[in-house]
Structure 1
Amino acid sequence: MSEILRKLSEQGVSIWLDDISRERLRTGNLQDLIRDKHVVGVTSNPTIFASALSKGDAYDQQMHDLKIRGVDVEEAVRAITTYDIRWAADVLKPVYESGGQTDGRVSIEVDPRLSKDTDKTVAEARALWWLVDRPNLFIKIPATVEGLSAITQVIAEGISVNVTLIFSLERYRAVMDAWMTGLEQARDKGLELGGIESVASFFVSRVDGEIDKRLDKIGTPEALALKGKAALANARLAFAAFEEVVASERWKALAAAGARPQRPLWASTGTKNPDYPDTLYVDQLVTSGTVNTMPEKTLEATADHGKIDGDTIRSSYEEAWNTMAALKEAGIDYDDVVGFLETDGLDKFEASWTELLATVSAELKKA
């Protein structure tokens, strides 16, 4: 077992794998990662599924059956992806049961083309919740303005949610408000709050990717000295916002009714810049009560040479605020950056979904 990943887990960071495939499931690889690498959760997205479908023969039989049944591409996508998610949820069920039903979770994403339509997002979330039919499921909903209302509605119905694509501190506060509003509505309906879980996926590396490009264009020594600092500062201030919310009287009332915190989840934690340490967004975002969902490459790098030396968030708030002030002084428009990243992220989500549909369509023709 990895000693470094054990230390990370002992610091209160839940280690999730940002990948899924039927090959990984049928070979027992996911079970091995749970045993050897302290993995306690899985996230998925359309790109991951498209990649899995294009490799090997794990999906051949199901593709053949779907073709014989004459299902359309959209139904085939749901059949294929929910099959894998159910399987992964079953593999992780012992973790879910032994860990107080907090971890052992698997996430599946709503069709991102619906992200600007609250009603359709809610309907899709309900459908996926019913199709997978596992208590350790998370439905991924993007944190668009329209998504906020959807988040409230599905949580109020007892559906556990992974809120994804969060970049800005302002939007993150709105996400936490939507989550608590959903819990309050669930409580008023008489639902058991302890069974409703949520995480808020705060994207990390993409912030550095965009801000670093802008700092390069500015080109001053002061600007260049700030490269690689924005993403960590943003994430750390997000955790500070989380701490403020869970210290509020509003949250305390929900906790007294049995609710559990919406844990911050660090997403997009693989470094894009080869000049940065490949474990940067793991080593420097360590604190209890968080989740880090890693691509396998980042997981292996952390297991091999990660530097886990205690909490690297709670003591860094002042430094984070100073970094944000320095970025503003250098000419970085934070609101413009996070607005662009949300739009760009949604575009990429939709492109990934289109890629998945095309991949499934091609595989059905070959079946």
Structure 2
Amino acid sequence: MSITDTETDSNTAALSRAGVSIWLDDLSRERIASKGLQKLIEEKDVVGVTTNPTIFAAALAKGESYDEQVKELKAKGADVAQAIFEITTKDVSDAADVFNDVFLASNGYDGRVSIEVSPELAHDTEATISEAKRLWGTIDKPNVMIKIPATVEGLPAITAAIAAGISVNVTLIFSLERYKAVIDAYLEGLEQAAEAGIDLSTIHSVASFFVSRVDTEVDKRLDAVGTDEAKALKGKTAVANARLAYELFVDEFGTERAIELQEKGANRQRPLWASTGVKDPSLPDTFYVTDLVTHGVVNTMPEKTLDAVADHGDITGDTIVGKYDEAREDLAKIAAVGVDVAEVTLLLEREGVDKFIVSWHELTDTVAKALESA
């Protein structure tokens, strides 16, 4: 759990007090077995974990933590797909147990562990729904979230999963337009769940809005424009985009439709800041944390970013509310110098799916080799 009030001088405690839930963007069996994950809960206020194919590929490529299970899987004749399913669901199930106290103490608000449907299904609605239900049913822990990408085909899968009572982490959101569609898919799922008699209070969701990748692509284009005016706008797009996403969150969950569902026990779908590791060395390494602080959001950080925040993150209170006009002005200036942010976000969605598919293939290859040599 979080550190006690007598120790609340830490930067991560200050971030938590400001209303940001700190989730770790990493998981491995070694991290669970060594009690390293528990240590992060106790010392750095970590209250959740997110995973993706890249994380699992990296975890499986090193160390011996998986050897015993791989031998058992080979002995029972498991193929690569089944081995991946059993290995990843075990890690997530075990991590969910580590976070169970956080989950209970926060009444389900935090203590969450996310696992992603195969990225190869990102454009197949029915297969995504089926896989989400399979993952949810296999792990069978109330503090798990199933990650579904916010592709056009993913939107109806999000609705169907929520309607079935499954808690969902919507991933790979880059644009405000798509984010609005994600919120609508969530609310529609809640309406269907209510009709089916499901207790809405048991369904939780986060919407993972990607941050640093937006700056990486836009800044490359600003450099190509080459003017002093364009270069002065570097490092401004992602934070502006995310701040306006939070404004949209406040507006959409204040509508009559959303309030009616909340009165029936529904939870608001929290914005989650993802891809918060800083890639531009000219920016502070805590930039996508300290500049995106407000109540009721999640920031999922790679450990390097978490360590930087703990060491020197300057948490000064809310850095989102009240900055919406400034964000709109920044985006208008970026458009004025000729960078099309809408085009960038579409590109990033495609690239995001493609990168996860590459990682999935790496994971497949790693598991295939492990089964071979077991």
TM-score (norm 1): 0.99
What is residue 262 of structure 1 aligned with on the other side?
A: 269
What is residue 172 of structure 1 aligned with on the other side?
A: 179
What is residue 156 of structure 2 aligned with on the other side?
A: 149
Point out where structure 1 has 5 or more consecutive residues left out of the alignment: none
Which of 128, 135, 148 in structure 2 is aligned with 1:128?
Answer: 135
What is residue 283 of structure 1 aligned with on the other side?
A: 290
Which of 205, 217, 221 in structure 2 is aligned with 1:214?
Answer: 221
Deviation by residue 1:301-321 (Cα, 9 ceiling, x = unmatched): 000000100000002111100
Taking the aligned partners of 2:245 and 2:362, their CA distance within structure 1 comes to 32
SS at match of 2:323: helix
Q: Which amino acid aligns with 1:229?
A: K
Which of 225, 238, 243 in structure 2 is aligned with 1:236?
Answer: 243
SS at match of 2:368: helix
Q: How far did residue 56 of structure 1 move?
A: 1.5
Q: Which amino acid aligns with 2:340?
A: D
Q: How far did residue 146 of structure 1 move?
A: 0.6
What is residue 3 of structure 1 aligned with on the other side?
A: 10
Q: Which amino acid aligns with 1:48?
A: I
SS at match of 1:125: helix
Q: Which amino acid aligns with 2:250?
A: E
Q: How far did residue 284 of structure 1 move?
A: 0.2
Which of 321, 326, 330 in structure 1 is aligned with 2:333?
Answer: 326
Point out where structure 2 has 5 or more consecutive residues left out of the alignment: 4-8
1:196 aligns with 2:185: no
What is residue 341 of structure 1 aligned with on the other side?
A: 348
TM-score (norm 2): 0.97
What is residue 41 of structure 1 aligned with on the other side?
A: 48
SS at match of 1:202: strand
Taking the aligned partners of 1:170 and 1:140, their CA distance within structure 2 comes to 20
Q: How far did residue 133 of structure 1 move?
A: 0.7
Taking the aligned partners of 2:56 and 2:214, their CA distance within structure 1 comes to 25
1:272 aligns with 2:279: yes
What is residue 352 of structure 1 aligned with on the other side?
A: 359
Deviation by residue 1:288-336 (Cα, 9 ceiling, x = unmatched): 0000000000000000000100000002111100001001101011221
Which of 204, 212, 217 in structure 2 is aligned with 1:205?
Answer: 212
Which of 218, 228, 233 in structure 2 is aligned with 1:226?
Answer: 233
Number of equivalences: 367
Taking the TM superposition and a 5 Å limit, the aligned residue runs for 1:288-303 are 288-303=295-310
Taking the aligned partners of 1:92 and 1:113, their CA distance within structure 2 comes to 29
Deviation by residue 1:129-175 (Cα, 9 ceiling, x = unmatched): 01111000000000000100000001000000000000000000000
Taking the aligned partners of 1:309 and 1:241, their CA distance within structure 2 comes to 23
Q: How far did residue 198 of structure 1 move?
A: 0.2
Q: Which amino acid aligns with 2:182?
A: V
State the Cα RMSD in Å: 0.7
SS at match of 2:153: helix
SS at match of 1:140: strand
Q: Which amino acid aligns with 2:287?
A: L
Percentage of pairs with the same residue? 58
Q: How far did residue 46 of structure 1 move?
A: 1.1
What is residue 370 of structure 2 aligned with on the other side?
A: 363
Q: How far did residue 53 of structure 1 move?
A: 1.1
What is residue 37 of structure 2 aligned with on the other side?
A: 30
Deviation >4 Å, runs of 4+: none
